[in-house]
Structure 1
Amino acid sequence: MLDLHTRLATLKRPPLLARAARFGVDDYRRQVHLRRILQCETLPGYGHAIMQLLEIEAGMDILRRDHSAHYRPARHVEVLIAILGEAHLMRATAPQPV
């Protein structure tokens, strides 16, 4: 099983989805967006949140690849933004090596 950093580094999506997520990450607000996506009151830690988001995103990617009528690109971008936002927050709060 891949560790979290490897999973994030190897996540490959179409350029348009990736670009849209990168544009939106500056406006990511954990308290608002993550709570809505995960539908929870108490927010999990960064690593746990990323794992949950990656599972949600994997399901969305399957719908995208299958050309499902249930696929919603805006929702997919929203989840990708949350993944990037959580990864940035996790890196920013990680202890720095001495």
Structure 2
Amino acid sequence: MTAMPNVIAFRAPPTGTPLRRPRVLISAARAGQSSWRRERDLPRLLRSDGCPRPGIALPRLRAEEARMNAARLEAAAEYDLHRHVTLMIAILAEMRQAVEDAPIAVDARAVEAARQAADGLARITCRETTNPAHP
């Protein structure tokens, strides 16, 4: 009999300040996730020759998006709604990639306790688990 440890491993949440943006902007960014192609779109958005490794571009994208959001709040003439939505699409995609690539945080003591409990369960035989009052 094999027993699996009763340990659930959760990925660590990404660190950083949360984005607070208008609902329509976030909805547009979520809708654009299906057409996002990292290798095609990220170099164009960052105005670079190549595509950086996952996680490297996120601070730069967040800084550029913060500048765009400031321009939006000021109703500046240089505000580009299309670029802002594209930046939000990229940020959501990069954050998703960072969470997927993050190592799973597991408490070693919990794993060892679960392993010992599983070993103890494996030693129980049918005779020990039957109730003599109910043959």
Name the TM-score class by shorter chain: 0.7 to 0.9
Larger helix proportion of the pair: 1
Gaps of 5+ in 2: 1-13, 107-135
Structure scoring higher RCO (CA < 8 A, sep ≥ 6) equals 2
1:73 aligns with 2:50: no
Normalised by the length of structure 2, the TM-score is 0.64
Q: Report the Cα offset of residue 79 of structure 1.
A: 0.4
1:6 to 9, 13, 16: 16
Gaps of 5+ in 1: none
Q: Report the equivalent of 1:54.
A: 62
Inter-partner Cα distance in structure 1 for 2:86 and 2:94: 12
Amino acid at match of 1:82: A
Normalised by the length of structure 1, the TM-score is 0.85
Indicate the percent of aligned positions where both proteins have the same amino acid: 37
Poorly superposed stretches of 4+, deviation over 3 Å: none
Q: Work out which of the two has the higher radius of gyration on C-alpha atoms and give 1 or 2.
A: 2
Aligned length: 93
What root-mean-square deviation, in Å, do the aligned CA atoms of Structure 1 and Structure 2 show?
A: 1.4
